[in-house]
Amino acid sequence: MAEYKVVEIFTSINGEGMRAGELAVFIRLQGCNLRCGYCDTMWANEAGAAYTKMTAEEILQKVKDAGIRNITLTGGEPLDQPDIGELIERITSDTWLRLEIETNGSISLEPFTGYPNPPVFTVDYKLPGSGMETAMDLENFNRLKPDDTVKFVVSDLNDLIRAKEIIGQYELTKRCHVILSPVFGNIEPKDMVEFMKEQKLNDIRMQIQMHKVIWDPEQRGV
C-alpha cells in the first residue's frame, strides 16, 4: 500500500484560486522538482523536511473528520509524488468532496484527467521571474477544462508582459479561468491593475494571496 510524505494537513480558507475565501482542508506533500526564486514553501520542498508517512486511507479519514468539502492537494509538487494517482482516486471517489490540485505546470496532467469525479487543477505558468519557465509542459494547455485555472505569479513588469503573450498565444481565457497574482513584496498590486487597464485584459482576475493579508506571511498551517 502506497504511503505519502505529508508535511502538514490543516483546515483554513483558500487564500487564492477560484474558491478563495472558502474553507478547505490542505494536504501538503513533501518535495518539488522545481526551484522557483520566489517560492514561499521551500521549507516543504527539501529532502530533509519533516514529514509523516500516511496511506491514502489515513489521509482520507483526516479529510472526512474535518467535515469540509473543499480539499486542496499541494506541495511542493503533488503530481511528482510516487503513486499519487491512488490518493487522487481515493479522494475523488467520495462525490461529496471537491478536490483542487495545485501544480507547478511542469508535470503532465494527462494521467490525472480520467476520474468520474475529476479534480480541478490550478496550474502555474512559471514566468521569467521564477527562473523556471523552460520547465513548463505547454501541452497542459490542451488538457484544461473550463473549471481549471492557469495562474501567473508576477514578479515585475516583464513578467506581466510575458503573461499577456502566453494568455493570447494559447487563448487561455477561452479554455479556463486565468489569474494574475503578485509575488508578495516584489510588485505593487496597483501597478498590476494599471497594466490590466492599459492592456484591456478582459476575463482575467488579479488576485492577492488572502492568507498573507490575514496572517503573518511567514506563518505556516494557515
**Average pLDDT along the chain, 222 residues, taken 10 residues at a time:** 93 90 95 88 78 96 96 94 95 96 97 92 97 97 97 97 98 98 91 97 91 64 57
Distance between CA atoms of residues 167 and 150, nearest Å? 9
Task: Enter the C-alpha cell of residue 45.
Answer: 520542498
What is the SS3 assignment for 54?
strand
CB 77 within 8 A of CB 122: no
DSSP type of residue 213: H
Confidence (pLDDT) at 219: 59
Confidence (pLDDT) at 213: 74
CB 179 within 8 A of CB 152: yes
Look up the pTM and report it: 0.93
